[in-house]
Amino acid sequence: MKQYDIAAYVWPSYTGKELRARQFWPDGMGEWQTVMSVPSRMPLKPADYEWDRKPLWGCCDEADPKVMEMQIEEATRHGVNVFIYDWYWYDHRPFLEQCLDEGFLGASNNEQMKFYIMWANHDAGYTWDVRLSDLLWRGQDPIVWSGQVDRKEFEIVAHRLIEKYFSRPNYYKINGKPLFMIYDVDNLVAGLGGIEATREALDWFRAECVKAGHPGLELQLTGWGERVSNMSGVDGTHTISTKEVVPALGFDSVTNYQFVHFCDMNRDYADILPEVYAEWARMDKDYTVPYYPHVSVGWDNNPRFRGYVPCVCRNNTPEIFETALIKAKEYVDSHDLPVPLITVNSWNEWTETSYLEPDTKYGYGYLKAIKRVFKE
C-alpha cells in the first residue's frame, strides 16, 4: 500500500510549563483554560450559537513525555505520521518550546513519527487572552511581542534550529534537506529590511545548513491565497504578489495553514470545498515550485472571545472531512511531488475548532477518517 505523509500542525500551548504564557492563561494550564471555560461565556453569544465539545483525553499536559507517548501512538495508528510544530521566537528568546522539547522529543517512542518546524513569526497580541481579546475588533489590540527579527537575531534563530532540531534522525527531510516553513513572509521581510536583504539572509541560512552537514535547506512558504505585499522593508511602494515572492526569496515549496486564509468560512463545510479545490489547482498552475495540498478540519475561533465572531464553519462532520482527504490523496497521486505530503490543520487547534484530537462531540471521528483514507 502506498505510504503518505500526513502532517498535522501542533499548537504548543497546552501546557503550564511556559511561565511567560501565564499573562494570557493565568491558571497555569495553557490554553486549556480557554477551552474549559467556554460554557460560562455562552450568554454573550447569539441564542442559536453553541460550542458543545470538550477533550476526550481531558486537559493533558502536552509537554509531558508520557502524554506524548500516548498521542504519538494514537496519531500513528490512525495514519498521522508527521507533526508540524508551531515555533515561536519573541523578545529575543523562544516561546512555547516545551511541548516539542520536553513532550514530543522526550517521548520514548518519538522515533515513530517525523516532525518539522513552522516558524510562526507573526506578532503576538491579546488574541489568546479572553479577558482582553475583544479589543481586536475595536482596533485597540496592542502588540505584546513583535514577530520581526533583524539579521543578527535571524542568525541566532537559524543556528538554534540547526543545532537543536535539524540533525535529529526523525526531523522531516526532502532529498536529505531539513524542511522548514515560514508562516508570515511579510513580517520576515519587514524585520530583515527588504526582499534583497531577506534573500541574502535565507541564502546564508542554506549555507549554514550545508556547513552543519546537510545537503541544504528545503524552505517552505505558508500560502495565504494570492496577495500583494510590501517587500521594501519600510513604508515604501515596492510591492509584489505571492507568486513572485516564491522565486524571489528562493522558496522550494508551498502549502497552507488554514482554509480561513483564502476562503470565506462562514458557511457549510461542503460549500467551502469547491473553492478549496480551485485554490489547489491555481497554486499548481501559477507556482513554479511544488504545492502540497492542505486540508483543514474546520473553523470557529469564538472560544477565544467574549463577543461573537460571525465566521463559523458549519456541518464539518468527519464524513465530509473525509471527502476532502480523498481529494487531497487524489491530488498527490496525480502529481509528481518530491514527497507524498499532505498538511492538516490541525492536531490540537481547539480554540479555532479545527483539531483531530478526539472530543465529546465526534469521538475519534476525524482520526478514523484519516485512517480510512490513508491506511485501510
- Specify the pLDDT at position 225: 87
Residue 273 CB partners (closer than 8 Å, separation 6+): 320, 323, 324, 327
- Return the pLDDT at 43: 83
Q: What pLDDT does 12 receive?
A: 98
C-alpha grid cell, residue 106: 522526550
Q: Which residues, including other chains, have CB under 8 Å from residue 173's CB and lie 6 or more apart? A: 179, 218
- Which residues 6+ apart lie within 8 Å of 116 measured at CB? 7, 82, 84, 85, 171, 172, 178, 179, 180, 181
Domain boundaries, the chain: 5-374
Share of the chain above pLDDT 70, in %: 97
Classify domain 5-374 at the CATH superfamily level. Answer: Glycosidases (3.20.20.80)
Query: Could you please report the per-residue DSSP string of 297-361?
Result: -----GGG-SS--S---B---HHHHHHHHHHHHHHHHTS--SS-EEEEE-SSBGGGTB--S-BTT
Q: What are the C-alpha distances in Å from 305 to residues 21, 136, 349? A: 17, 10, 15
Whether residue 318 is predicted with pLDDT greater than 80 in this model: the reply is: yes
How high is the pLDDT of residue 44?
84
Give the pLDDT mean for 290-312.
96
Which residue, among 208, 238, 225, has the nearest Cα to 279 in the 3D structure? Answer: 225
CA distance 287 to 285: 6
> Is the predicted pLDDT of residue 252 greater than 80, yes or no?
yes
Calculate the average pLDDT of the chain.
95
Backbone angles phi and psi of 349, in degrees to 5: -80, 70
The pLDDT of 17-34, averaged and rounded, is: 97
pLDDT at 137: 81
For β-strands 5-10 and 341-345, DSSP reports them as parallel
CA 261 to chain centroid: 12
Q: What is the pLDDT of residues 152-177, one digit of tens each?
A: 999 999 999 999 999 999 999 999 99
Least confident of 63-67, 71-75, 179-183, 234-238: 234-238
Hey, what's the cell of 171? 526531523
End-to-end CA distance of the chain: 9
pLDDT at 139: 81
Question: What amino acid occupies position 112?
Answer: Q
Per-residue confidence band for 337, with pLDDT thresholds at 50, 70 and 90: very high
pLDDT computed for residue 232 by the predictor: 61
What average pLDDT does the segment 177-194 reach?
Answer: 96
Range in 49-63, 85-99, 130-144, 330-344 with the lowest mean pLDDT: 130-144
- DSSP conformation class of 99: I
For residue 344, pLDDT over 80 is answered with: yes
pLDDT for residue 237: 59
Q: What is the C-alpha radius of gyration for the chain, rounded to an integer number of angstroms? A: 20
**DSSP string of 173-222, one letter each residue:** EETTEEEEEES-HHHHHHHHTSHHHHHHHHHHHHHHHHHTT-S--EEEEE
The 10s digit of each residue's pLDDT in 193-233 is: 999 999 999 999 999 999 999 999 999 999 998 876 666 65
- pLDDT higher than 80, residue 41: no
Contacts of 246-250 with CB under 8 Å at 24 or more apart are 246/221, 246/287, 246/288, 246/289, 247/288, 247/289, 248/195, 248/199, 249/185, 249/195, 249/198, 249/199, 249/202, 249/219, 250/199, 250/202, 250/203, 250/206, 250/219
Q: What is the length of the chain?
A: 376
Task: Identify the band that residue 64 occupies on the pLDDT scale cut at 50, 70 and 90.
Answer: very high
Cis peptide before 229 (omega within 30 of 0): no
| pLDDT at 236 > cutoff 70 | no
pLDDT tens digit sequence for 91-128: 999 999 999 999 999 999 999 999 999 999 999 999 99
Tell me the three cell numbers of residue 321: 472531512
Q: What is the pLDDT of residue 235?
A: 52
- Of the candidates 88, 151, 156, 76, which has an alpha carbon nearest to the alpha carbon of residue 117? 88
Which of 140-149, 288-297, 331-340 has the lowest average pLDDT?
140-149
Q: What percent of the chain shows pLDDT beyond 90? A: 90
Over range 14-35, report the average pLDDT.
Answer: 97
**Is residue 256 classed as helix, strand or coil in its secondary structure?**
strand
- Give mean pLDDT, residues 260-273: 98
Residue 164 grid cell: 537543536
